[in-house]
Structure 1
Amino acid sequence: MNEQTYIGINNEFLQLQELRKGDSISFDKDILSPLLFVWVRGKNSNIIHDSVKVKVENNTILCVSRFDKIKFDNLDNARIIKFNREFYCVLDHVKEVSCKGILFYGTNQLPNFQIPQEELDKFETLWKMFEIEMQSKDELQLEMLQTMLKRFIILCTRMFKSQNQLLQLDNMEIDIVREFNFLVEQNFKTIHSVQDYASLLNKSPKTLSNLFSIVSKKTPLQIIHERKCIEAKRLLRYTDKSIKEIGYEIGFEDIQTFSKFFKKMENTSPSDFKNTTLGTLTNSSGTTA
């Protein structure tokens, strides 16, 4: 593994990594809420995400947060850009990069896109510029690195939008979709109806449904339910909490209602799901934490 790290005087953190076969991803425990771009290169890569094996095509970029559990089952090589909020906060720079609710802090379980061949030179050039600037040690280094990260995020946002039908919407409509995704991510444990989210956005439920019918095969209600189910599965896999505790944590008042919801979503009961996946984490040394 090749690695270059920048740490600023106010705990700004940026790290570039190049992974090869056998390498793994990890989150540094002393870095609060880092975000990662994982640029998978090569034709034979697979990841295990939340215990599900997924084939990853050449030149795919994954947008990973600390909540994601991923492990390389097979890897040709990959490049990683890891940064913390102090270095660049995508929530504070919504107008600049517009990735909130799309690449990060949204309902998509693991946002990703494939770099088109005609766009590959842009990403390759920017990576080389990152590597060069990492060697600079003057007072302008932080600003230069932040500018390059901003450019990288914008490129990623454009690619994701173009590959997920978001370009069919105008900017105001895209903002509604982004904000809905963000609100669900932040509130899915306590807010459960489309009407409530529509009210927070000062829109009607029908407006939300119409927008998502253009950009997604999922309705707003399906997105809410899927986010609750993702959390339930993570808690069942990675914690010792009881099924009753897990149901209560994600907004169900009794175990029967939670079990019925979970079985409808996953075609299995919470207890059977937990028992089936109980042994899957015994070899998780390469998993994000």
Structure 2
Amino acid sequence: MRYEYRESAVGGQFIMTVGQADFTRYFFQEQDKKFNALIWNRGKSQQIVVDELAFEVPENTFIALNVSHSFRLERSEDAVIWQFNREFYCIITHDAEVSCSGLLFYGWRETYPIFLDEKLTRSFSLLVEVFRDEFETRDNIQGEMLRVLLKRLIIKLTRLVKEQSAVGQLNNPDLDTIRQFNLLVENNYKKIHQVQDYANLMFKSPKTLSNLFSKFSDKSPLQIIANRIFLESKRLILYTDLSASEIGYELGFEEPAHFSRFFKKMAGQTPSAFKKESMNLH
């Protein structure tokens, strides 16, 4: 079942799909739209493909994906999926309201599962039913009620991230640094490619950033920047008609050859070979 709420005046959109077997087909029709996503795999372990990389999602776990990701599920009928765009609820603007939402979507390592026990499973199942009721209630405060429920969902998951990961061992200044770096990358990756430049924006040294990320993440600051550029390059290759040269220019590469070398280093193949192979798979 698919539930949707739209705010036509501002372009806000909030979607919940529950047990929808054809979710993948719908998703690929919406590639021009950018959603944050919260995915609850309520069935057995299954595969999720995020930006053409496959991961296992264990039984009864959540994963959080931000607007930079595209994905498809092996068995979407076993999942509950919430998707919302910035116009419906901006997690950055409302960060204080949801207690480090930036941690869930931008400070947490993508595709790492959030595990539920029996008590939490009951709690989230009840929340799904409350969402159903509110999606079916049409009145002038429906949007605000749905935002309240979404904030509740984000807060509950953020608490679990802190409990279940090494990030819970970091102090608040370190958490803020991690989130600030990730958010700066998200907003500037098309024009800023060097750790030194991000460090300057944060009034920190590159060494400080590297040391902090080595405690928390399996990726260095430079790898985070490169991965974000790579994700966007794959999206543009797969879902637009832009040439490799145009994509390279869009992503801040001064010469087409520089982008081609970068992409081949990241993907192990040229942009054209990647696109051909991916199209054959679908």
The two structures have a TM-score, normalised by structure 1, of 0.81
What is the CA distance between 1:191 and its match in structure 2? 0.6
Aligned counterparts of 2:277 and 2:159: Cα–Cα separation in 1? 39
Aligned to 1:285: none
C-alpha deviations, 1:113-134, integer Å up to 9, x for none?
2332153233223223323344
Aligned to 1:16: 16
Aligned to 1:286: none
Aligned to 1:185: 186
Aligned to 1:53: 54
8 Å CA contact 1:10–1:86 kept in 2: the answer is no
What is the CA distance between 1:66 and its match in structure 2? 5.1
**2:225 is the alignment partner of 1:224:** yes
C-alpha deviations, 1:194-239, integer Å up to 9, x for none?
1111111122212211210111011111111121222222222233
Give 5+ residue unaligned stretches, structure 2: none
What is the CA distance between 1:87 and its match in structure 2? 3.6
Aligned to 1:196: 197
8 Å CA contact 1:46–1:75 kept in 2: the answer is no
C-alpha deviations, 1:175-202, integer Å up to 9, x for none?
1101110111111111111111111112
Question: Helix, strand or coil for the counterpart of 2:113?
Answer: strand
Post-superposition, which runs of at least 4 consecutive aligned residues in structure 1 deviate over 6 A? none
Aligned counterparts of 1:274 and 1:33: Cα–Cα separation in 2? 21
Aligned counterparts of 1:239 and 1:28: Cα–Cα separation in 2? 13
Aligned counterparts of 1:167 and 1:79: Cα–Cα separation in 2? 26
The two structures have a TM-score, normalised by structure 2, of 0.83
Q: 1:79 to 1:190 in 2, by over 3 A?
A: same
Aligned counterparts of 1:234 and 1:13: Cα–Cα separation in 2? 21
**2:154 is the alignment partner of 1:166:** no
Aligned to 1:267: 268
What is the CA distance between 1:109 and its match in structure 2? 8.3
Q: Report sequence identity in percent.
A: 40
Which amino acid is 2:244 matched to? I
Of 33-42 and 19-28, deviating more is 19-28
Aligned counterparts of 1:22 and 1:274: Cα–Cα separation in 2? 24
**2:250 is the alignment partner of 1:249:** yes
Aligned counterparts of 1:87 and 1:247: Cα–Cα separation in 2? 31
8 Å CA contact 1:94–1:100 kept in 2: the answer is yes
Aligned to 1:113: 113
8 Å CA contact 1:62–1:112 kept in 2: the answer is yes
Aligned to 1:212: 213
Q: What root-mean-square deviation, in Å, do the aligned CA atoms of Structure 1 and Structure 2 show? A: 3.0
Question: Helix, strand or coil for the counterpart of 2:18?
Answer: strand
Aligned counterparts of 1:143 and 1:235: Cα–Cα separation in 2? 34
Aligned to 1:234: 235
Aligned counterparts of 1:244 and 1:28: Cα–Cα separation in 2? 26
Aligned to 2:146: 145
Which amino acid is 1:186 matched to? N
8 Å CA contact 2:101–2:154 kept in 1: the answer is no
Aligned counterparts of 2:2 and 2:279: Cα–Cα separation in 1? 34
Which amino acid is 2:190 matched to? K
Aligned to 1:284: none
Aligned to 1:3: 2
Question: Helix, strand or coil for the counterpart of 1:81?
Answer: strand
Aligned to 1:130: 131
Give 5+ residue unaligned stretches, structure 1: 282-289
**Larger relative CO (CA 8 A, sep 6+): 1 or 2?**
1
Aligned counterparts of 2:3 and 2:130: Cα–Cα separation in 1? 13
C-alpha deviations, 1:18-64, integer Å up to 9, x for none?
124444443886x9744332222211533333333333222232334
Aligned to 2:37: 36
Q: 1:5 to 1:225 in 2, by over 3 A?
A: closer
Aligned counterparts of 1:7 and 1:259: Cα–Cα separation in 2? 40
Q: Which has the higher helix share?
A: 2
